[in-house]
Amino acid sequence: MFERKLNALNCFLESFNPADEDQFRSVILWLEDQKIRQYKIEEREGLRDVKSSLAWSKSYEKYLEAVGCPSFLKTRNEQLDWLLCLAIKLVYQEKSNRYSGTIEGSENKFQGPAKPSIVPTNPLDNMDFESQDFKNGVKVLAGILNVGVHPDHLVTLEAVARVINVRLSTEVLKNPGKFSIEGTPYPFAEADLGFDTGDPALNQASKVLRLLFISDLRDLQTKINECIVGIQRITANPKTDTALGKVGY
């Protein structure tokens, strides 16, 4: 689990077993000597005494406190992983110009992997939705479909899309009689709202919103009924295998 981080720090080991006490101590000392350098050289004597188990362990605990290793990291593997990340961070900070872009005094740049070039095939990707031509087109389309024009052309476009989806879809055009609405239009203007807002225009708008809400509820109820019917087709007619049955014990 530490191989890639050690290689990133140019510490190429043929094999590393963190459970091996000698190897673990050697790597800790190498990180402090070569990369972290928290202590002065003369202060590293405790870590250099890799043969003394008790003395080295005490020096190691003090070292963890000195570098700010979180106390909740209890196992050696967790602590070592944190120290490796710290070393990589310090190396990056020392050579940030090399990894972030241009090296000072040079035109050389660190080149990352080339980004794939994606050519859009959808004509809508190249369309300017805020251009005057687009706004005029939405207004003309709304007029053809008898859709009211909103000050925001995108709201008008949303209404146009809804009309096309409900009235001009492929399924509707194949069988228009199935989806045509028959009967006398509901006189919502004369209907009783049930309350009065004090503004005639607001009362009319409230009636429209109520009708739209009822329409949404009906659509939801239709989908629920279709779901119930689908489940009943599976559960109401179970198939049994009489060959598996037996009488007696």
Residue-level pLDDT at 53: 78
Q: How many helices (H) and strands (E) does the chain have?
A: 11, 0
Percent of the chain at pLDDT above 90?
Answer: 12
Residue type, 47: L
Give the lowest-confidence range in 50-54, 68-72, 82-86, 176-180: 176-180
The whole-number average pLDDT for the span 166-186 is: 76
Residue-level pLDDT at 111: 54
Residue-level pLDDT at 126: 73
**Average pLDDT value over all residues in the chain:** 81
Residue-level pLDDT at 156: 92
pTM: 0.40
**How many C-alpha atoms does 109 have within 13 Å on its Cβ side?**
5
Q: Is the pLDDT of residue 221 over 90?
A: yes
d(CA 36, CA 33): 7
pLDDT range class, residue 246, cuts 50, 70, 90? low
What dihedral angle (degrees, nearest 10) is formed by the CA atoms of 168, 174, 178, 184? 40
**34 contacts: CB under 8 Å, gap ≥ 6:** 9, 11
Q: Is the pLDDT of residue 227 over 70?
A: yes
Residue-level pLDDT at 240: 60
